[in-house]
Structure 1
Amino acid sequence: MTHLTTLYRQKIDAGELTPDPAQEAVLPHFDRIAEGLMAPPVKRGFFRKTEYEPVQGLYLWGGVGRGKSMLMDLFAGSLDGIPSRRVHFHAFMQEIHAKLHEARQQGAEDALAPAAAEVAESVRLLAFDEMQIIDITDAMIVGRLFEALFSAGVTVITTSNRVPDDLYKNGLNRQLFLPFIDLIKDHMAVHEMVSPTDYRQHRLTGAQVYFAPVDAEARAQIRAIWADLSGGPAQPLTLKVKGRDVTLPAFRNGVARASFYDLCGKMLGPGDYLAIAEAVKVLVLEDIPRLSRNNFNEARRFVTLIDALYEARVRLICSAAAQPEMLYVEGEGTFEFERTASRLREMQDKDWGAAAP
């Protein structure tokens, strides 16, 4: 295994990365974890089996585009021979809910115990991207789940845009969630990545982000932007919103890709769009059609989606049948759509999303 500090220096020497003090400051945490995971197991007592010493994990938080996911990906890729898994936090929780359902179907009294045991038996390190809690069903089980994982010796690394104390902020029955925050602080070093540079925003600065009409050139531009921002193979992301599934077809490193129909052609509402805006930092939205009385419901959902993205300062990249002012030109709601068109224009600005509101 090569320490992350060495890999980081190699990429700088190769011109693949630019030196960043904020990124360099967190490298010792990754090196410490690597050394702990490489340490041989110890035998506790004459008759006891050998066990690995627990290794303190890492909760890495800070603004978007600072390189948190990039560093975690480099680290996860360096773990030769150590059972590990890198997964988006929402996707992992969806898997846990599926395991819970299966255990209940089999009559387990405590469905969480076998689910946690199955995970603990398969990995020594879990690397989560974008830890955030927006659903009460997740909030009510993460405490016991992570307690079981830590007790089994699993090391956890996670990135987040929030300090631990702000997880599930203002959530329903939040007092029941607070022990999980204490658990994080007990088992993970909390490190804030403070950098003035937003690398994701930098890649978009000055770039075209609204493409009309939807033609071969627009599709090629969208594909190129997606490949650059996602940085690798994507997977669907399913969000639980009030017991329902809201699925983004492609998601990686905080960047989501979906069609207009995926998000506005289905029976979604304000709560769904707020959850999407909470979960993603960049949305690539394709094939926005002309809107009118013939697709009024879809148009109304589109207005709600844009409002949610705007308020959350989500970067929007899209392809559409026409420029914003010409998307909705007749039918009920034309006047109200003027605000949406104005917001679509504003969201094309090179500095949009560079800072929190």
Structure 2
Amino acid sequence: MELPVNRAMSARYDALIASGEITEDPVQREAVYQLDLLNTRLAETRLASKKSSLGWLFANKKNQLWAKVEGLYMWGGVGRGKTMLMDLFYEVTVIRRKRRVHFHEFMTDVHERIHAHRQAHKRGEVKGDDPIPPVAEQISEETRLLLFDEFSVTDIADAMILGRLFTQLFERGVVVVATSNVEPSRLYMDGLNRQLFLPFIEMLKSRVEILHLDSPTDYRLEKLAGAPVYVTPLGSDADTQMDEIFSKLTHGMKPHSEELENKGRLIPVPAVASGAARFTFDDLCMQPLGASDYLRIANAYSTIFLDNVPVLSRARRNEAKRFINLIDTLYDNGIKLVISAEAEPQDLYVGEDGTEAFEFDRTASRLIEMRSEAYLAGDNREIHA
């Protein structure tokens, strides 16, 4: 039986508590309450829009109805449940025209649309040299509800267009729900020409409810406590352990696949749930990926699962080099790693000569440290949920 809209989030949250997947948290409960209120408001607005819909005559009136709905901005440290709450809300929301996307991917798409409009204008195919209104119109026609994972502004090109873009989106009735590790007033902190970005922050505050998830508990760390985050040797037992840890960390939610954009290329991500991404060794080290690709992955997820790492040697120096770069990047960014491997870290590389053999000593040392309680307890990431 379909749950009442006004308690759909609460029912899903209660079910996770009853199943033992999560424990009751008063801060999360407040977020659940706020998301239930938002879902109810969205349902009411959707119904009102349908009743008043008489074609183009009432198109602007419908946008005005949606523009009155305030979104939600949830911020807090790693492991406080922001991504889990977003997962639940995406599942239960009544809105069909919804888009969940990493903020980086969204802005890449925006820049591509701006470029396409400018090229079309040069060819005389469209009128008006300002690309922001038509781009906002495109997005609003496609999406009524935008859900952003890891809302973070680090690029000046993004910062300079956000104010005008979101003014247009909000006027067209687009509703925003976002997670972030930083409060709105600290977005684009110390960025170039930040004073030009400040009006966007004030507008954001006026259009979304700000909710600080300040729970003292890092639930991701709690889930990993005592778990064998380095599983060896490979085999069916290792596969089962990896499946169990992934399910436990992601609250048993069904994973989905997605793609990350990096410098015009797409990185396939086979399985994602609750801020954790799962890859095989072949996915990340048998493909032509480089350090910037691994950094893009580190910027998107706070926990990485890596399955089936084999023993490496000079004969597989390309794969070894990629694995070294991958571990360096994850380590430098404080990413939690759950890995299944053919051997213990110090035995993962066979051979005593060559650059890779020398570099792998550091990799083995880092892999050992990354399984320690001290590393897992570290919270040195600034922008990822």
Displacement of 1:204 in angstroms is: 1.8
1:235 aligns with 2:257: yes
Contact 1:236 1:249 in 2 (8 A): yes
* TM value normalised by structure 1: 0.83
Of 140-149 and 277-286, more deviation after overlay is shown by 140-149
Say which SS state the counterpart of residue 247 (structure 1) adopts.
strand
Aligned counterpart, 2:295: 274
**Aligned in 2, Cα 1:25/1:200: closer, same or farther, shift over 3 Å?**
same
Displacement of 1:152 in angstroms is: 0.8
1:295 aligns with 2:316: yes
Displacement of 1:315 in angstroms is: 0.8
1:64 aligns with 2:85: no
Contact 2:306 2:340 in 1 (8 A): yes
Aligned counterpart, 1:18: 23
Identity %: 42
Of 101-110 and 203-212, more deviation after overlay is shown by 101-110
1:94-105 to 2 correspondence within 5 Å? 94-97=108-111, 99-100=113-114, 102-104=116-118
Aligned counterpart, 1:264: 285
Query: In the aligned structure 2, how far is the partner of 1:246 from the partner of 1:5?
Result: 33
Aligned length in residues: 353
Aligned counterpart, 2:215: 195
Contact 1:91 1:238 in 2 (8 A): yes
Say which SS state the counterpart of residue 58 (structure 1) adopts.
strand
Aligned counterpart, 2:35: 30
**Aligned in 2, Cα 1:282/1:81: closer, same or farther, shift over 3 Å?**
closer
2:359 to 313, 336, 341: 336
1:3 aligns with 2:12: no
* TM value normalised by structure 2: 0.77
Query: In the aligned structure 2, how far is the partner of 1:297 from the partner of 1:176?
Result: 45
Say which SS state the counterpart of residue 361 (structure 2) adopts.
helix
Displacement of 1:194 in angstroms is: 0.8
Displacement of 1:301 in angstroms is: 3.3
Of 134-143 and 289-298, more deviation after overlay is shown by 134-143
Displacement of 1:21 in angstroms is: 1.3
Say which SS state the counterpart of residue 75 (structure 1) adopts.
helix
Query: In the aligned structure 2, how far is the partner of 1:223 from the partner of 1:5?
Result: 26
Say which SS state the counterpart of residue 146 (structure 2) adopts.
strand
- For the aligned residue pairs, the C-alpha RMSD in angstroms reads 3.3
Q: Mind listing any 5+ residue stretches in structure 2 that lack a counterpart?
A: 381-385
Contact 1:346 1:352 in 2 (8 A): yes
**Aligned in 2, Cα 1:264/1:79: closer, same or farther, shift over 3 Å?**
closer
Contact 2:10 2:33 in 1 (8 A): no
1:157 to 155, 160, 177: 177
Aligned counterpart, 1:75: 89
Amino acid at match of 2:323: F
Query: In the aligned structure 2, how far is the partner of 1:24 from the partner of 1:228?
Result: 20
Contact 2:256 2:273 in 1 (8 A): yes
Query: In the aligned structure 2, how far is the partner of 1:10 from the partner of 1:266?
Result: 42
Amino acid at match of 1:21: P
Amino acid at match of 1:237: E
Of 61-70 and 208-217, more deviation after overlay is shown by 208-217
1:220 aligns with 2:240: yes
Query: In the aligned structure 1, how far is the partner of 2:192 from the partner of 2:241?
Result: 42
Say which SS state the counterpart of residue 317 (structure 1) adopts.
strand
Aligned counterpart, 2:165: 145
Displacement of 1:175 in angstroms is: 5.6
1:181 aligns with 2:206: no
**Aligned in 2, Cα 1:92/1:224: closer, same or farther, shift over 3 Å?**
farther
Higher helix residue share: 2
Query: In the aligned structure 2, how far is the partner of 1:171 from the partner of 1:289?
Result: 42
**Aligned in 2, Cα 1:272/1:166: closer, same or farther, shift over 3 Å?**
farther
Q: Which gives a bigger RCO, structure 1 or 2 (Cα 8 Å, sep 6+)?
A: 2
Of 256-265 and 325-334, more deviation after overlay is shown by 256-265
Displacement of 1:94 in angstroms is: 4.7
CA offsets 1:273-296 (integer angstroms, 9 cap, x no match): 333222210111233333333333
1:345 to 364, 368, 376: 368
Query: In the aligned structure 2, how far is the partner of 1:225 from the partner of 1:170?
Result: 38
Say which SS state the counterpart of residue 206 (structure 1) adopts.
coil
